[in-house]
Amino acid sequence: MALEDIESSQKADEADKTSLEAAAAWFAYAAPTLWALSEQGKEFQGKIAKQGQAVKGKEWRGFGKERWEFWEEKLEACGDGVELVAKAKEAAKSVRDGGKK
């Protein structure tokens, strides 16, 4: 996911806009499913489970709370210059808070 390819020293809003929009779309439209899979700790094998280049020292093989928190932190660091990012932030926060606004 694009959020995992952003180096910690790189600002998220400097990331490739197309990749950032794709990652934001995942959260904007699939946050409930991503959250449920994260709560379940759903894991995969092979390339589908590969984490981004900027994530070093982690053995993530799918979804989990730690990975969700990482994604959410990266979304929060994104500027509001990408239209879907605000919607993604809202969706991620909403499902994490149990659908409460």
Per-domain residue ranges of the chain = 2-9+18-96
Name the token pair of 40. Answer: 């379940």
| pLDDT number for residue 31 | 93
Hey, how many other C-beta atoms are within 10 angstroms of the C-beta on 92? Answer: 22
| pLDDT number for residue 9 | 47
| pLDDT number for residue 58 | 83
Q: Report the alpha-carbon distance of residue 31 to residue 28 in Å, rounded.
A: 6
| pLDDT number for residue 2 | 60
Q: What is the DSSP letter of 21?
A: H
List, as one string, the DSSP characters of 34-58. Answer: HHHHHHHT-B--GGGGPPPTT--S-
| pLDDT number for residue 40 | 94
Using DSSP's 3-state secondary structure scheme, residue 72 falls into helix
Q: Report the alpha-carbon distance of residue 37 to residue 68 in Å, rounded.
A: 10
| pLDDT number for residue 101 | 47
| pLDDT number for residue 32 | 94
Residuewise pLDDT in 10s, the chain (101 residues): 566 665 554 555 455 677 788 888 988 999 999 999 999 999 888 777 777 777 778 888 889 999 899 888 888 887 666 678 888 888 988 998 886 54
* Dihedral sign (CA 52, 53, 54, 58): positive
